[in-house]
């Protein structure tokens, strides 16, 4: 399975990690193969949707036989870049940053943090698990020298954009953004994927308020 087209819709791409996790679960339960019908039932998708999603990446599965789980899982991992060993750093070691460092291996199997950066002197030189904490002053140098691909950004709002600009100049390729700031990456082509806690929570309270209004 490989990318046969570079114009795959965002909705398909958002489903790929779900397929990966589902295939992991099935493999862990000792399953060997699964039909698109059964996979759809377990994931709340239609079989034709699943076949359509997979067809973006070439032929897969066999009429009347279904999908072999182990090879499909491996190829899904490749599609998602799990075999590329992209280098990752943590920028900002507050509560959230600290928790991300401690959970990084369980969030993303096979990935390792090269280092973490903070400006508080009491943190610099320490280690969180295996991850060394460096001074923010060395951030751009480190990105350049180590050709860092991905920065996890979890810093206070007021420094988020400035650090983003600096990292872009240093050649970062992608930012996993935990600040509640909409980062401006200009025409750099740098990828940004947001975890906006506040926006996510407000979606819940919106729907609760809607429910309450309906009941009135």
Task: Name the residues that contact a second copy, by CB under 8 A.
Answer: 3, 6, 13-14, 16-18, 20-21, 43, 79-82, 84, 86, 95-96, 98-100, 102-103, 107-108, 149-150, 173-174, 176, 180, 182, 191, 193, 195-214
Instruction: Report the candidate in 57, 55, 43, 52 with the shortest Cα–Cα distance to residue 3.
Output: 57
DSSP secondary structure, 24-64, as one string: HHHHHTT--EE-HHHHHHHHT--HHHHHHHHHTTS--SBTT
Distance of closest approach, residue 149 Cβ to a second copy, in angstroms? 6
Strands 67-68 and 33-34: antiparallel
- Closest separation between CB of residue 197 and a second copy, Å? 5
Nearer to a second copy, 65 or 107 (CB): 107
For the record, the structure tokens of 193 come out as 């994927």
Give whichever of 64 and 115 is closer to a second copy, judged by the CB atom. Answer: 115
CB of 125 or CB of 206, closer to a second copy: 206
Q: What minimum distance in Å lies between the beta carbon of 160 and a second copy?
A: 12
CB of 205 vs a second copy, minimal distance in Å? 4
Minimum distance of a second copy from residue 80's CB (angstroms): 5
- Measured from the CB atom, the residue of 83 and 141 that comes closer to a second copy is 83
Between 70 and 174, CB nearer to a second copy: 174
Where is 67: in which H helix or E strand?
Answer: strand 67-68
User: For residue 192, which of 151, 157, 155 has the smallest C-alpha distance?
Assistant: 151
């Amino acid at each position: 399975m490989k990318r046969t087209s570079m114009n795959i819709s965002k909705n398909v791409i958002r489903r790929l990690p779900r397929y990966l996790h589902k295939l992991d679960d099935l493999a862990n339960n000792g399953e060997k193969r699964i039909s698109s019908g059964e996979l759809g039932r377990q994931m709340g998708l239609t079989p034709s949707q699943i076949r359509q999603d997979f067809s973006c990446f070439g032929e897969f599965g066999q009429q009347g036989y279904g999908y072999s789980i182990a090879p499909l899982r491996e190829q899904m991992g490749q599609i998602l870049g799990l075999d590329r060993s992209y280098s990752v750093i943590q920028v900002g070691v507050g509560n959230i940053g600290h928790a991300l460092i401690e959970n990084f291996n369980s969030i993303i199997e096979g990935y390792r943090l090269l280092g973490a950066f903070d400006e508080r002197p009491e943190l610099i030189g320490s280690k969180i698990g295996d991850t060394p904490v460096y001074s923010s002053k060395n951030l751009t140098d480190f990105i350049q020298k180590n050709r860092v691909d991905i920065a996890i950004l979890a810093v206070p709002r007021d420094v988020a954009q400035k650090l983003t600009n600096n990292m872009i100049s240093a050649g970062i390729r992608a930012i996993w953004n935990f600040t509640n700031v909409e980062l401006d990456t200009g025409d750099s082509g740098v990828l940004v994927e947001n975890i906006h806690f506040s926006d996510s929570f407000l979606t819940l309270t919106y729907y609760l308020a809607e429910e309450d209004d309906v009941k009135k």
